[in-house]
Copies of this chain bind each other. A is one copy, B any other.
Amino acid sequence: MEKNILLTIEYDGSVFHGWQRQPEALTVQGMLEEALSTVCGKPVEINGTSRTDAGVHAYGQRASFKGDFGIPTERIAYAVNNALLSDKWGEAAGAVRVLKAENVSSDFHARFDSKGKTYVYKIYNMPEMDVFRRNYCYHIPDELDIEAMRKAAKLIEGTHDFKCFEAAGGQERETTVRTISGITVERGNRTGSGAERAGDGSGVERAEGGRGEDGYVNIRVNGDGFLYNMVRIITGTLAEVGLGKRSPEEMTEIIEGKDRTKAGHTAPPQGLYLEQIYY
């Protein structure tokens, strides 16, 4: 009997040329499809919810695929994760992991049925960078004004035409109107947690080696859908507010102007994490 299977997927984007399958480059979709095809015993093609760019990470990407497979759905995660650890993937071995595989109704579609998503963008806001963080955050050495960033973020929330925050080159879309239901800006740690939740004990500095885990400014954006590079442009614009290069009040003008060139820079991909998708 044909099943429709929904996967929840985690990946380290630093070793991939993004989500979407490409003939000559290693992508998350390509690697997953190859491993799933082995495990399921026949060619598998998956529909991912978000086509994340090269360097972007995921804690909770989703993808679905249909087929009549010998393997029970509840064994897929274990089997495919073993296949994903194979040495044949080189440095990408273990860089993707299926957290969950579940049966869903036959008309379910991982992308079209998505009701919303949360992204978290991690800025490392300490004077000195280190080698271990280079693929996992955006380093801004000068101290950010969190209150100013929060004021600006408030002006982004709501339903607006967000053309100002859209990069060229994305997928076709009917409208550039989106609803951002919430943006939080919190000092926190490397896990993406806010300081309030994470306590303050984790930032111990030692004289040599091994800096603490605090020092992050985590921007969490929740919305019904996102335009191409939208979270990265919002982050770049909020960072400019945090650095005093723009006032929070400018945000309204930027949105109303519907002009990408009026917004801030595009923050780099390695700070962005697709955290959760809602159905």
The 4 A-B pairs at the shortest CB distance, nearest first, are namely A199-B201, A59-B209, A202-B202, A191-B210
How many copies of the polypeptide does the oligomer hold?
Answer: 2
Q: Provided the pairs A131-B95, A134-B94, A134-B95 are in contact, do residues A275 and B199 lie with their beta carbons within 8 angstroms? A: no
A171-225 at interface with B (beta carbon < 8 Å): 189-193, 197-202, 204, 206, 208-213
Asked whether B204 lies within 8 Å of A201 as measured between CB atoms, the reply is no
Is B275 a contact of A209 with CB atoms below 8 Å?
Answer: yes
Q: Known contacts being A15-B91, A213-B190, is A60 close to B208, with CB within 8 Å?
A: yes
Q: Which A residues form the contact surface with B (CB < 8 A)? A: 10-12, 14-15, 57, 59-60, 91, 93-97, 120, 129-132, 134, 136, 189-193, 197-202, 204, 206, 208-213, 273, 275-276
With A130-B97, A131-B96 as known contacts, state yes or no: A204 contacts B209, CB within 8 Å: no
A191, A197, A273: most-surrounded residue (chain B CB, <10 A): A191
Q: A189-B202, A191-B213 are in contact. List 20 more A-B contacts (CB 8 A).
A: A10-B130, A10-B209, A14-B91, A93-B134, A94-B131, A189-B213, A191-B204, A191-B210, A191-B211, A192-B209, A193-B206, A193-B210, A193-B212, A198-B212, A199-B201, A199-B204, A200-B201, A202-B213, A209-B276, A210-B275
